[in-house]
Amino acid sequence: MRRKDMKIIQLAHRTVDELLEEIFAITSKKKIDTSDKRVLYAVACAMKNRYENDVPKWIPVSERLPEEDGKYMVTIHGYGWNGKTFTSVSVAECIGKRWVGNNGVIAWMSLPEAYKSNK
């Protein structure tokens, strides 16, 4: 296997900062050859995959409910006191695949990790 091919395979395991360094190293050259373009494409794919895996996604309740009991971020659709419909984001608890106190949950996602100070 060629050195550039090995480099492409290793890109999937790098951090975003390392991937950006790879981009800067290649684009600082005066001439970018075909093998460099393959590496840049692999870097872009690795960053896209990293981003997609790190960003929580809304899951419609029509697809599935949470497997584990706990608190989740939810989108609620309902009717206000004035009779108008509304959609809002809230936190709700799911126990035994049922939403506690929220009948209008239409989608959910895991809560993000709590903020941790560097101190």
pLDDT in tens, 85-106: 988 898 999 999 999 987 799 9
> What is the extent of the structural domain holding 33?
3-54
| 12 and 46 housed in the same domain | yes
Rounded CA-CA distance 86/79 in Å is: 6
C-alpha angle 12/64/77, rounded to 5°?
110
**Percent residues over pLDDT 70 in the chain:** 72
Which of 13, 30, 54 terminates a domain? The answer is 54
Question: Do 39 and 69 fall within a single domain?
Answer: no
For 64-80, the pLDDT digits (tens) are: 999 999 999 999 998 88
